[in-house]
Every structure is written in structure tokens, then in C-alpha cells.
Structure 1
């Protein structure tokens, strides 16, 4: 494993048997030169990007922002991987570092970006949100920067995106946004304010969350017996009509196609909300 580029004291671009890789480790690049052999005892993380442009983007980020910004982002990622017991998609090193670095510069100027999906993120991505809370304290300790709660939500989004191996954060935001839209459609049709802590709503949200992930990934959704489907449509017609509105809204606004079979399950969950309204 030979050094191709020294991005900073802690980050190297290396060649390992002809494959370009990013190597991270405390002081791994200190007093090193191109073509030096990497000290494997200092390696803390090795990852491969999808294409060359991502290496160039990562190099640009590492060289454009203060070292401490990059270190903080890397340590948050490392903490997240340990807490979630998963290896996050390497693209998070670009996405999260870039986001945090610009956010830190905004905070210095007193500019705060509101996170309109904060409550949905807090509820849907609970484990990732807890990591964001830890990150808030860590950033304060390391950089003396007090990030707002909105940023906890953004950090959680980036972590969830990388955990699920999505290509970009848009999909994660779409899911949270669709859940919010779904809630609004149900409340408008029933003229109620949903108790978001109720078991009925939590079950609907959980089912819909995983259904959306299957739909976005183009995985097979649940089948349902045709006769049972017709019974649900007839018996719970009000809930089914609301489900149809949700289906149409998702297609119109997000261009995701919710299969008709999925409407039966959504209708049953909506009916439970109707029963307790």
C-alpha cells in the first residue's frame, strides 16, 4: 500500500494493488512523502469511493476546510458506525464533512437554516437522531460551536442515508417529507389532530416508512388476496379513499408509485385511527 497523495496529516490517497483507496488514521500522513509505504499500524479506516470524481471531491473538501472540521466529521462518522454496528457508505465522508464545514461557517455569521422535517426525523430515525445529539455535544467540546437542534436533524439524515446505502440525502428527506404529507392528508380528511404518540399512528408510520423504502429500492411489496382487498375497499371505504389520495399525492409530488396492494394495508391502519378519533 503506497501513498499517492497526502491530503492532510490524517488522510491519504493510496494505491493498494492497483486500487485507489482513502486511508484515515491519526498522524498517518505526518512527515510522509509520495510513494512511501503506509504504516498499517496507524490505519483506522480504509474505504473505496465509487468513481474518480468522488476522490477528487473528497480531496477538495479536505484541502478547502480547516483540519479540525474534517477531523470532527470523521470522528462523528466513526462514532455512528460503532453505535449502529454498520459500515456506512463511504460517500458520507464527502456529504457530512461538506455539510458540517459550510454549517460551521454559517453559524459564525449568525445564519441558521431551519429544518422543516425535524420532528419527522426525530421520530423516524431515532437511533441516528441520538447520534446527532451526541455530535452536538462533541462539536461544542472540540470546536466551541453550539449547533442548533435543526442541525441534529441534518446530521441524522446524513447518517441514515449512508446506513441505507442510498445515493444521496434526497431519498431520506423524501421519506420524512412524505410521512409528514401523509399525516396532513389524514388530518384534513378526518378533521382531527392526530395523536402522534398513539399506537395506531405509530403502527401506520412504521408500516409506511418500510413500505416507502421498498418502493424506492424497487423491492417486492406485500401481496394481498384479491377477495380480501375488495372487502377492505368496501367495508373501510373512507379509509381507502384517503389512502388513494395519499397514493396520488406521492406520485404527483415525488414520482414514486405506490402499488394498489399496499393501499389495503395503509387503509387498515387509517381505519384504526378513524376508530379512535
Structure 2
């Protein structure tokens, strides 16, 4: 948000108490979103940039259109809680949030509430992966669910915390929720393979599980970015001869990553993954 106090927006249309269509000084149309922003306002009146501080401006044309299409399906009191939720997320993250969160999270929450009202809550099979991958976003999402609970008396199920956390993470790192979700799914699949190979069940609340999930996540992110890690050659041959089971398993997991991400994986990743798997196998014996 710019700190220029003199900049003003001219109100073109009041969609409801919480959403206005306005015109900026560059003749650009913007959607101003915020709690009570449209209350007792008049068309053609001016709103100063300083008043828009707690609110959010949607500048992207396609985001604006999508958001406007969503509005007729949202009851005013529900929209108020959703806007409060996004304000809460902005406060907690204290940084850049992609404006897409307004459309994506609003759409998701309206869908979730509608399903809940029809007694069709969605289960989230990746909640534990999400919690381990994004603990910070998960805590903020917990607050959002609590806010819904208190302000709207809507009791969102625990699985929703995971979904909301993914939306928060997506807006923070400026990436698509589907991509992030796909990574969580892949990690879940990789962990299942590890459990099958070692014939163990890893405690989902344990620090070992958290470490494993994080390690897999960083590997996936490095592969996605095409980032190379140095290969400690002596360690590679040592691990191969000392821990053939872990070494082979790590390559099996890496092949899955390659096929899913459609990107090459550097050999060094197998070394680090082998060390990780060895640690888990030793602990579980």
C-alpha cells in the first residue's frame, strides 16, 4: 500500500457495505474491499489513500472481474467475516500478499460454508503434511477458523485449517494453490512408499516426521527451481555400499519426483535423501 496521503479514489459504484468500485487518479478502475467501506458513502465522493490503509485494492483486471462475479453469491455478514479474515492474514504475515488471495480464499470459503450447511464437509487427507510443511501459515489459518467460529458461528472442520493454510502460503510466495497442493500430495505419496519399504508407520506428530516432510519439500523446491547441490562423491560411494536399501529407496523416490515434476534431479539429492532415510530406519528399529 502506498503511503502517499494525497492520492484519492472517486467512488463509481457501491456494491455493498464492504465493496466499492472506484476510479484512481490514472483513470484506472479499482475494487476497494474492506469492512464497512461502503457504509454511508455516496457515488462520486472521494476516498483518500490514507483511509484505504486497512482495506485492499484489487488492481488486476481479471481478479476484479472474478471478484465481482462472486459477490452476488455471498451474504453480507459472511462477506464481512471473510474480509476480516483476510485483514487478519495481512496483519499476521506483515508482508506482500498476492491480491489473488481475495478471489481464491473468498471463493474457497463460500464453497466450504455452503457445503457445510448442506452437511457435506470436505475431508482433507493432507492436513498433517500441510501442518508439517507450513507451520506458520497453519497457525494463522487456525486463527481464521476461530474468527469464523466466533463472528459467524460457523464451525469449520479441522481439515479447513489445512486448506486455508495453503491459500495463505500461496499468497505469500505468489504461487498457484494447485501447484502447492500437488506438492503436498506428492510428499504424502513418497512417505507412504518409505513406510511400505521399511515396514514401519511414522508417527505423524513426531519431530522425525516433520523433518522428513521438510526435507522432501526442500528437495522438491530445489528441483522445481533447477537448483544444483554439490555432490560429496566420497560420501556417495560410502552410502551406496553401507546402506544399499536406503540408497536404492532414495533413487526410487527421486524417480517419482522426476516423473511428477518433469524436471531432472541432481545425483547429490540421492545422497542427502539416503542420509535422511538412514536416520529414520535406525530410529525405527
Residue of 217, 220, 224 corresponding to 1:212: 220
Segments of 5+ residues of structure 1 without an aligned counterpart are none
Contact 2:132-2:210 within 8 A present in 1 as well: no
Instruction: Compute the TM-score of the two structures, normalised by the length of structure 1.
Output: 0.88
1:251 equivalent in alignment to 2:251: no
Segments of 5+ residues of structure 2 without an aligned counterpart are 1-8
Q: Name the structure 2 match of 1:70.
A: 79
Contact 1:186-1:242 within 8 A present in 2 as well: yes
Contact 1:89-1:163 within 8 A present in 2 as well: yes
Gap change, CA 1:202 and 1:116, over 3 Å in 2 = closer
CA RMSD of aligned residues (A): 2.3
Instruction: Please give the alpha-carbon distance, in whole angstroms, between the structure 2 residues aligned to 1:221 and 1:8.
Output: 51
1:186 equivalent in alignment to 2:194: yes
Contact 2:134-2:169 within 8 A present in 1 as well: yes
Contact 2:142-2:161 within 8 A present in 1 as well: yes
Gap change, CA 1:197 and 1:138, over 3 Å in 2 = closer
Trace 1:81-160 onto structure 2 (pairs within 5 A).
Answer: 81-160=90-169
How far apart are residue 188 of structure 1 and its match?
1.0
1:58 equivalent in alignment to 2:67: yes
How far apart are residue 100 of structure 1 and its match?
0.8
What SS class does the counterpart of residue 38 from structure 1 fall into?
strand
Instruction: Compute the TM-score of the two structures, normalised by the length of structure 2.
Output: 0.85
Instruction: Please give the alpha-carbon distance, in whole angstroms, between the structure 2 residues aligned to 1:90 and 1:130.
Output: 21
Q: How many residues align?
A: 274
Provide, for residues 36-78 of structure 1, a one-character-per-residue CA deviation record: whole Å limited to 9, x for no partner.
32244532123344x4222100111123311222221221122
How far apart are residue 255 of structure 1 and its match?
3.8
Gap change, CA 1:224 and 1:14, over 3 Å in 2 = farther
